[in-house]
Structure 1
Amino acid sequence: MMRLAVTAMIAVLLAACSTTPPSVVTLPTTARPVQPVVASINNGSIFQPNSSRLLFEERVARNIGDLLNITIEENLSAVNTSNSSSNKAGSLDYSTTGNIPLVPWDIEKYFSREGAAAVKLAGTNKFEGKGATNSTNTFKGTISVTVTDLLANGNLIVGGEKQVAVNNQINTLRFTGVVNPLDIKAGNTISSNKVADARIEQLGVGSMADANTIGWLQRFFLNVMPF
């Protein structure tokens, strides 16, 4: 019974140490099923309310299920430098010639009677700190996404996912965001810099990802060690 309890405790600890970080992508990456279209009155063979398009207009994403090409061009750089210092000093000198009213002799005798300072207090407090942070991130690539929803103002909610498997290594790229149709360029493409609420995530699973991950036992000791 004791051996079973110890085994269960070890299993719980291992499960707690192997938790994965939450995903930053929260919106759906695929389009929801299209509801059946109710038969409407035939307005002719040229003009249709849901498929109208100008004569020289290029075909771009505008409806649920349409595809859109995203050009990922993310360059983030941040530099932060801080310097702080403080210096404070204080002193106190006290002397007496004796005959202090209401002070017993047992206490007064410790004070100087020759005008020299009998009580001296001095203090100094000095602090100096420096810090610097430099962070640079570059992310480039392309991904095709699907229009998953339409907003009332005409903006498109898009999402997509791409997986590439090479030599037992699986790399997954996910992208979601909100697109203004007016920002879509020729070729049905848009830069990620023009996408609002963009969520970009790249994950790797395989031998290379395992080599860059701290082992569960080492991670356990890093969490419990106080220094």
Structure 2
Amino acid sequence: MARFAVAAMIAVLLAACTTPPSVVTQPTTARPAQPVVASINNGSIFQPNSSRLLFEERVARNIGDLLNITIEENLSAVNTSNSSSNKAGSLDYSTAGNIPLLPWSIEQYFSREASAAVKLAGTNKFEGKGATNSTNTFKGTIAVTVVDLLANGNLIVGGEKQVAVNNQINTLRFTGVINPLDIKAGNTISSNKVADARIEQLGVGSMADANTIGWLQRFFLSVMPF
């Protein structure tokens, strides 16, 4: 029983290792702060707690406000490298009769009657080629919440969207920092304007399991030396 428990624990740990860590580390939502009610109400139409300019575009500016992110990510990278090297060397030494530069123990291996010759040659050649091509395209929309306000006026936003269809759950998470001046009409902003953007899409279900390598196979791949 103890061996079975240890084996089950190892299997659970190996299965947990197959899940990659999340790139989204910040909160994806925040509740707005409770407004402070003025103790004295003069009865006028203007109220400082909820005032808006007459011709002002209503965009996100406070914690808890909503904002629409248009995801427009197109990433492409191409890397090609070629390298080659060639090195050759040779040595030719010949003499007749005695070889004065060599001691007798080595000279006896050469013919004393005919001319003796020593020839050495070496060649070293290397050629290498490599190429990398990567293209990523991600388009969509997601509504996010203003999570925090920075001292310079920038907004930290975060949002999460989950869609479940036929026991298949797709989760989209987004966090980043935006400049309120980049918010366009309609309270939208492109993901290209978001700093420190973290975009994550995860799937849970039979389709995700079919595209994931098994924990036992992953284990053998990690320990095999070839």
Which residue does the alignment assign to 1:208? 207
Question: In 1, are the aligned partners of 2:14 and 2:219 still within 8 Å (CA)?
Answer: no
Greater shift, 111-120 or 55-64, is seen at 111-120
Question: In 2, are the aligned partners of 1:95 and 1:111 still within 8 Å (CA)?
Answer: no
Alpha-carbon offset, residue 95 of structure 1: 2.5
Distance 1:50 1:132, change over 3 A: farther
Question: In 1, are the aligned partners of 2:96 and 2:116 still within 8 Å (CA)?
Answer: no
Taking only the aligned residue pairs, the percentage that are identical comes to 93
Distance 1:203 1:48, change over 3 A: same
Which residue does the alignment assign to 1:69? 68
Alpha-carbon offset, residue 143 of structure 1: 0.3
Measure the CA separation in 2 of the matches of 1:152 and 1:8.
51
Greater shift, 171-180 or 215-224, is seen at 215-224
Deviations 1:81-125 (A, max 9, x none): 111111111111122345555843222233566895622211111
Greater shift, 105-114 or 188-197, is seen at 105-114
Alpha-carbon offset, residue 13 of structure 1: 5.9
Deviations 1:3-61 (A, max 9, x none): 457646754664565x4111111111011562563756668846666655432111000
Question: In 2, are the aligned partners of 1:31 and 1:65 still within 8 Å (CA)?
Answer: yes
Measure the CA separation in 2 of the matches of 1:42 and 1:95.
114
Aligned residues: 226
Question: In 1, are the aligned partners of 2:32 and 2:63 still within 8 Å (CA)?
Answer: no
Alpha-carbon offset, residue 196 of structure 1: 0.7
Distance 1:15 1:216, change over 3 A: closer
Question: In 2, are the aligned partners of 1:112 and 1:118 still within 8 Å (CA)?
Answer: no
Question: In 1, are the aligned partners of 2:97 and 2:114 still within 8 Å (CA)?
Answer: no
Measure the CA separation in 2 of the matches of 1:169 and 1:185.
34
Measure the CA separation in 2 of the matches of 1:98 and 1:61.
99
Question: In 2, are the aligned partners of 1:93 and 1:117 still within 8 Å (CA)?
Answer: no
Distance 1:160 1:6, change over 3 A: closer
Question: In 1, are the aligned partners of 2:71 and 2:141 still within 8 Å (CA)?
Answer: yes
Distance 1:96 1:112, change over 3 A: farther
Question: In 2, are the aligned partners of 1:96 and 1:111 still within 8 Å (CA)?
Answer: no
Question: In 1, are the aligned partners of 2:172 and 2:201 still within 8 Å (CA)?
Answer: yes
Question: In 1, are the aligned partners of 2:15 and 2:215 still within 8 Å (CA)?
Answer: no
Distance 1:161 1:124, change over 3 A: same
Measure the CA separation in 1 of the matches of 2:162 and 2:12.
32
- Give SS of 1:186's match: coil
Distance 1:132 1:66, change over 3 A: same
TM-score (norm 1): 0.86
Give 5+ residue unaligned stretches, structure 2: none
Distance 1:56 1:38, change over 3 A: closer
Deviations 1:140-169 (A, max 9, x none): 000000000000010000000000000000
Question: In 2, are the aligned partners of 1:27 and 1:159 still within 8 Å (CA)?
Answer: yes
Distance 1:102 1:172, change over 3 A: closer
TM-score (norm 2): 0.86
Deviations 1:49-75 (A, max 9, x none): 665543211100000000000000000
Greater shift, 75-84 or 98-107, is seen at 98-107
Measure the CA separation in 1 of the matches of 2:189 and 2:136.
20
Question: In 2, are the aligned partners of 1:98 and 1:108 still within 8 Å (CA)?
Answer: no
Deviations 1:171-221 (A, max 9, x none): 000000001000000000000001111100000000100111111222122
Distance 1:4 1:199, change over 3 A: closer
Greater shift, 180-189 or 212-221, is seen at 212-221
